[in-house]
Amino acid sequence: MRRGGIDRRAFLGVGGAAIICTIGGRTIRVETPEDVAEVDAAVRRLKAPRAVAAARAEGLDAVDELKFGTPEPQPGGQVREYWIEARSLIWDVAPTGRDEFMGHAIPKPRTFRAFAYRQWSPGFAAPLGPPSIPGPTLEAEVGDVLRVHFRNGDEHFGQAVTMHPHGVRYTPDYDGAYMGDYTRVGGFIAPGEEFTYTWEATPDSVGVWAYHDHGPNEDLNTHRGLFGMIVVREKGAPRPDVEAGLWFHQFAPAITKLRRNFQCVNGRVAAGNTPTIRAKVGQHVTFHVFGADDMLHTFHIHGHRWRAPDGTFTDNQLLGPMTSVTASWVEDNPGRWLYHCHVLSHMHAGMNGWYLVDP
């Protein structure tokens, strides 16, 4: 049966895996845009969970009664404040209309409603740009705290969202995770509400990490674009000359209501739309590459090699859901290079981009 332009067979046939959503005690197998609408409606009907302290007594464990403070920076550290809003927007996966890798046009339709984080100036005075996929990069050094003022500024989807960090230290209040009746304050930020998360950059936070929505509809809303990067460095450590954050993920037909399954880097398909990274010979270059969907990907870049965590050299490294690969080198090979996921069906459906090195 053909409904809303995409039937079940077409959806699965273009490589979209079914997403299983559990919401309001029901499990919904998401295969069509109609299934997505059903999940969204169920999430919109959710009431804010009662604070644990006020929740029913039975089923509560002592850990649920714990009270937590708000951490301050270590001596010599600082507070790094961000103002971040989540809102939906109409998103074009290929603004140039061209696939420069294969040399052809990318036909319309290419736009749909996505969900993205957006950075504002202090006090939410003014937006610092449009919502972006990935969201703004959050940076800290060991000993700092990240204080992230978060606002759910979206009316279209009408559902609670959050920011859940990886890698930094946080108490359950700042976990940003919806957990039914056990949800703490940061785990259900309804439309129009604000919440301030405080996360610590500890010595074991050094590295790059994901943050993403972990509200009651995490599954769909992360697939819609609610993810971004946290970078924690040693105190005083320099930034590389070139530092790129790339996210490999798909915009599946169930999410976009479009027929094609778009295999994306940072929300765009195909070289020319995906990020073009530029460097010069002699520069210290670092790529951080994340998987942001349920698929297995690899990060491959032509003309370059780097050390994998096991100490061997590689030019093609595996990454999975919300894991990352960091590839670093001192640039010595000028020219136009391709980077891409080496799952060939991903690469040829758009998961590729340019790396341009000047002499």
SS3 351: coil
Residue closer to Cu ion (CB basis): 101 or 195? 101
Query: C-beta of 296: minimal distance to Cu ion in Å?
Result: 7
Residues contacting 164, CB < 8 A, separation 6+: 175, 176, 177, 211, 212, 213, 214, 218
The smaller minimum CB distance to Cu ion, of residues 151 and 340, is found at 340
**CA–CA separation, 62 and 251 (whole Å):** 41
**Cβ of 247: how many Cβ atoms within 10 Å?**
24
Q: In angstroms, rounded to a whole number, what is the distance separating the alpha carbons of residues 262 and 38?
A: 23
Closest distance to Cu ion from the beta carbon of 164 (Å): 23
Shortest distance, position 290 Cβ to Cu ion, whole Å: 11
Q: To the nearest whole angstrom, how small is the minimum distance from the Cβ of residue 289 to Cu ion?
A: 10
In terms of Cα–Cα distance, which of 263, 251, 254, 240 is closest to 343?
Answer: 263
Cβ distance to Cu ion smaller for residue 214 or 249: 249
CB of 346 to Cu ion, least distance (A): 3
- Cis bond leading into 109, ω under 30°? yes
Q: How far is the CB of 31 from Cu ion (least distance, A)?
A: 21
Binding site for Cu ion (CB under 5 A): 297, 341, 343, 346
Q: Letter for the amino acid at 7?
A: D
User: 15: exposed, middle or buried (C-beta count within 10 Å: 0-12, 13-18, 19+)?
Assistant: middle
How near is the Cβ of 343 to Cu ion at its closest, in Å?
A: 4
Name 313's Cβ contacts closer than 8 Å, sequence gap at least 6: 305, 306, 307
CB 111 within 8 A of CB 90: yes
| Residue placing its CB nearer to Cu ion in the complex, 206 or 296 | 296
Residue among 19 and 341 whose Cβ is closer to Cu ion = 341
The residue behind tokens 């002499």 is 359
Residue nearer to Cu ion on the CB measure, 248 or 306? 248
In whole angstroms, what is the distance from residue 160 CA to residue 216 CA?
7
Closer CB to Cu ion, residue 145 or residue 351?
A: 351
